[in-house]
Chain A
Amino acid sequence: MSKVWKLILYLGLALIIIGAFIWAPLEPKILKEYTRIFYFHVPVAWICVVFFFIAAYYSFQFLRTRDLLYDAYAKISNELGILFAILATVTGSIWAKVTWGSFWNWDPRETSIFILLLIYGAYFSLRSAVEQEDRRARLAAVYSLLAFVTVPFFVFVVPRIYFSLHPEPVINAQGKIHLEVRQRVIFFSSLLFHTVLYLWLFQMRKTQVKLQMILRQYKEYKMLEE
């Protein structure tokens, strides 16, 4: 990532963090100071779902091409995904405690993030249970795609059918956004900058894994030569 973009990213994130605490107006009635976590919880939860899709994409590419590099990419996107799932669950519980009174309520969106956590955990336990490399990659890729098929039920269908504790200022039936202008600015720029930050993190990790794979192939080549 070039220096200019890095500078924009750092400045943008710093401004957002400061702005979330000073500039954005508070929800006046009950929530007051507690709304601030909204600017960080939603991007993290959104990124977790994005990484889930990215992992399914790389799993699909692996099954298509049988190139182990794609399996390595799928593994690291799952690693980042579980990190953000944990972050989203923790920030969500904190928000739940101060807003609705208890840390966990089995609200449909809470259930879906919990399921994402379970899927990531199951993915890693499957990976650790298989010895041979290509079999491991194949089974993990199939499981990732199978889970990918199941998740839209929870993320999109169930919250619309059943009653949900989650408020709907952004995504709702009328299609309107119930945020004030300043809140809107901070929220969408937070979403954007956090997405860029985490995708940059992913890009660095991808390069690292690719270099590891090239090094390994080189070593095998040298061994074969001898």
Chain B
Amino acid sequence: MRQIWLVFLKDVQQEFKTRYAINAILLFAIVTLSAVSFSIGTYTATARILAALFWVILFFSSMSGLSHIFIREEETHTADTLKLVARPANIYLGKFLFNLILLILLEIILIPLFIAVMNFQIVNYQIFLSTMFIGNFGLAGGGTMVAAIISKASTKGALFTVLAFPILLPVLVSGISATRKAAESAKLMDVQNELQALFAYGVIIIVASILLFDFVWNE
């Protein structure tokens, strides 16, 4: 447990010094949001379209930001030292925790902006916030694993999106459906299918990643 926390702290400190990943992810989100809002103009889109747009922006912003932890390790050549220090499962969980906090920070800024700029009326905040919270685990878990895989490959940027999209698609499907219901209905019971699917996906992807991470990390 302590190793997980130490890996996480190391990444937080490194991030604090350069602020590379948080800048990339935030700016990408703001640029995409501005582009979308500008293109739509004064027209208020329906809840269904707004829910989809929100998740598209979130997904592509996380695509630009989640792979930084592993790529930075490879580029600064600290990966070998890290291999000696901690067990693979702990490294994965530490990086996963970092990505989770990164996503939460992104959403703290993106959600109010999106609601304000796109005029997204949310009827039930319980549904919305629980969807976001559970969905983050799936996004961060799958994203961290795929980031580890592509950090060993040669062409890093585009490959991450291509590989991550099929893996993260269940989160998108359930998330968009649940967010749409958050804007339309008023009861938490209506989204129990989606929340169950998101929760199950999060558990499965994290367990599978812990089991498989050893093979990616150690030569």
A-side contacts of B173, CB under 8 Å: 111, 158
Q: Flag if B162 contacts A153 (CB, 8 Å).
A: no
A94 on the interface (CB 8 Å rule)? Answer: no
From the candidates A135, A149, A161, name the one contacting B193 in the complex (CB within 8 A): A161
A-side contacts of B201, CB under 8 Å: 150, 153
B165 on the interface (CB 8 Å rule)? Answer: yes
Q: Flag if A150 contacts B167 (CB, 8 Å).
A: yes
Q: Flag if B162 contacts A147 (CB, 8 Å).
A: no
B-side contacts of A191, CB under 8 Å: none
From the candidates B170, B193, B215, B216, name the one contacting A150 in the complex (CB within 8 A): B170
Known contacts: A118-B165, A130-B154, A161-B193. The answer to whether A143 contacts B149 by CB under 8 A is yes
Known contacts: A118-B166, A129-B153, A153-B170. The answer to whether A63 contacts B208 by CB under 8 A is no
Q: Give the nearest-CB partner of B168 in chain A.
A: A150
Least CB distance from A141 to B in Å reads 7
Q: Flag if B165 contacts A142 (CB, 8 Å).
A: no
A50 on the interface (CB 8 Å rule)? Answer: no
Q: Kindly state the separation between the CA atoms of A150 and B212 in the bound complex, as whole angstroms.
A: 14
Among A120-128, A165-173, A199-207, the one that faces the other chain is A120-128
How many residues on chain A are close to B (CB under 8 Å)?
29
Q: Flag if B154 contacts A125 (CB, 8 Å).
A: no
Q: Flag if A161 contacts B197 (CB, 8 Å).
A: yes
Interface of A is mostly: helix
Q: Give the nearest-CB partner of A143 in chain B.
A: B149
Q: Kindly state the separation between the CA atoms of A143 and B155 in the bound complex, as whole angstroms.
A: 16
Interface residues on B, range: 20 to 34
A131 on the interface (CB 8 Å rule)? Answer: yes
A-B contact count (CB 8 A): 82
B-side contacts of A130, CB under 8 Å: 152-154
Q: Kindly state the separation between the CA atoms of A155 and B149 in the bound complex, as whole angstroms.
A: 25
Q: Kindly state the separation between the CA atoms of A129 and B162 in the bound complex, as whole angstroms.
A: 12
B-side contacts of A145, CB under 8 Å: 208, 212
B-side contacts of A90, CB under 8 Å: none
B109 on the interface (CB 8 Å rule)? Answer: no
Q: Flag if B208 contacts A149 (CB, 8 Å).
A: yes
From the candidates B149, B204, B208, B215, name the one contacting A126 in the complex (CB within 8 A): B149
Q: Flag if B216 contacts A121 (CB, 8 Å).
A: no
Least CB distance from B81 to A in Å reads 20
Which residues of B, 199-219, contact A by the 8 Å Cβ criterion?
A: 200-201, 204-205, 208-209, 212, 215-216, 219
From the candidates B146, B162, B219, name the one contacting A135 in the complex (CB within 8 A): B219
A-side contacts of B212, CB under 8 Å: 142, 145-146
Q: Which 10 interchain pairs have the tightest Cβ spacing?
A: A129-B153, A149-B208, A118-B166, A119-B166, A153-B170, A122-B163, A130-B153, A142-B212, A161-B193, A122-B162
